[in-house]
Amino acid sequence: MVEVAVEAMSRADHEKLVTALAQLAANDSSFVVSFDHLSGQTVLKGASESHLEGKIDILNRAYGIAVNVGALQVAFLERPTTRAEAEYTYKKVHGPKGEFAAVKFGVGPIDVGMGFRFESKVDEAVLPREYMPGVEKGLEDILACGVVAGFPVVDVGVELIDAKYHDVDSSARAFEVATRAAFREALKMAKSVLLEPIMKVEVVTPEAFAKSIVEDLRLRRGQNRIRNVGDGTVVIDAIAPLMSMLGYANSLGLMSHGRATYAMRFDHYASIPSTESDPPFRPAIGMRA
């Protein structure tokens, strides 16, 4: 659900950091470590804000590794909202031999939860099988980083409608390049949108603090329902975007003088409201140790 970029504060600690993160990931299937080739940063992905804070604390205390930590990021997704078609021809000349590949794709949304579906409408006479690995690799590259803000693309159906090749100049690599360009353009034309994780939140609090907690959740785009459970205690059930719930533990503690508790779990993904459609960014690593 969340991710954060980290780096060792010294070169001497870099190898220790790599080893430590590998051990932590091996012992926790919900903790994922990846390397962002665009930024050169090591990215930690976990189930919650506290989950990642716990891993960073282990790095400091158990392994003795000081790290710079970037701003916490929510795991958004991207999805097309309408059907579109796009084509691209990749052509370069290098002396007697060049590079050539031409593709045309249809792209559109499919049912929620289906992930990705690909179908080729062309036969081997139009595009020999040897070039298909390039097409598939090009699609995978764009699926991983999207076109709105660089997040993975889900629930998308892709059709290869047409293709052209050259006996001498074509290669799997040329079709990979052409596919990336065509697929990227098709997703833009298909009006791709950002999806954000929506969480179920349950807050247990003394009744005296309920009003301020409900108002705070409302400002966090939460939809609330209050249940009175007796003995001056109420339960507040809410549905709220994870992005607005970052840092909630500290806020709740201040509002309730440490007397309220909460639990939060993932419920579903939903489109970000149009009034908040500016793409979130991936900030560079900060200087928090």
Among 191, 211, 226, the domain-final residue is 191
Among 191, 216, 249, the domain-final residue is 191
Report if residue 21 sits inside a domain. Answer: yes
Instruction: Looking at the structure, tell me whether residues 68 and 82 fall in a common domain.
Output: no
> How many Cβ atoms are within 10 Å of 250's Cβ, its own excluded?
8
The reported pLDDT for the residue numbered 159 is 98
What's the pTM value of the predicted model, to 2 decimals? 0.80
- CATH number, residue 255: 3.30.70.240
d(CA 152, CA 141) in angstroms, rounded, equals 10
Instruction: Looking at the structure, tell me whether residues 101 and 178 fall in a common domain.
Output: yes
Report if residue 132 sits inside a domain. Answer: yes
Lowest mean pLDDT among 35-44, 85-94, 221-230, 272-281: 272-281
d(CA 126, CA 161) in angstroms, rounded, equals 10
Instruction: Looking at the structure, tell me whether residues 187 and 93 fall in a common domain.
Output: yes
Instruction: Looking at the structure, tell me whether residues 82 and 168 fall in a common domain.
Output: yes
Highest mean pLDDT among 91-105, 113-127, 264-278: 113-127
What is the extent of the structural domain holding 180? Answer: 78-191
| Contact status, residue 197 vs residue 166, Cβ threshold 8 Å | no
How many structural domains are present in the chain? 3
3-state helix, strand, coil in the chain (%, to 5): 30, 35, 30
Instruction: Looking at the structure, tell me whether residues 53 and 114 fall in a common domain.
Output: no
Among 175, 191, 207, the domain-final residue is 191
Cα torsion through 242, 194, 287, 27, rounded to 10 = 60
Beta strand residue intervals within the chain, DSSP E: 2-8, 32-36, 41-46, 67-69, 73-74, 77-79, 84-94, 97-109, 116-120, 156-164, 193-206, 223-230, 233-241, 261-271
Instruction: Looking at the structure, tell me whether residues 93 and 181 fall in a common domain.
Output: yes
Instruction: Looking at the structure, tell me whether residues 114 and 39 fall in a common domain.
Output: no
Instruction: Looking at the structure, tell me whether residues 67 and 129 fall in a common domain.
Output: no
Instruction: Looking at the structure, tell me whether residues 126 and 145 fall in a common domain.
Output: yes
Report if residue 12 sits inside a domain. Answer: yes
What is each CA distance from 260 to 187, 196, 204, 245, 279, in whole angstroms? 45, 26, 6, 16, 33
Number of alpha carbons in the 13 Å side-chain half-sphere of residue 126: 11
- CATH number, residue 170: 3.30.230.10
d(CA 23, CA 19) in angstroms, rounded, equals 6
Report if residue 83 sits inside a domain. Answer: yes
Helix (H) / strand (E) element for 218: namely helix 210-219
Average pLDDT over residues 254-262: 96
Tell me which of 275 and 129 has the higher pLDDT.
Answer: 129
The reported pLDDT for the residue numbered 281 is 43
- Residue 130 CB contacts under 8 Å (≥ 6 apart), including other chains: 172
- CATH number, residue 13: 3.30.70.870
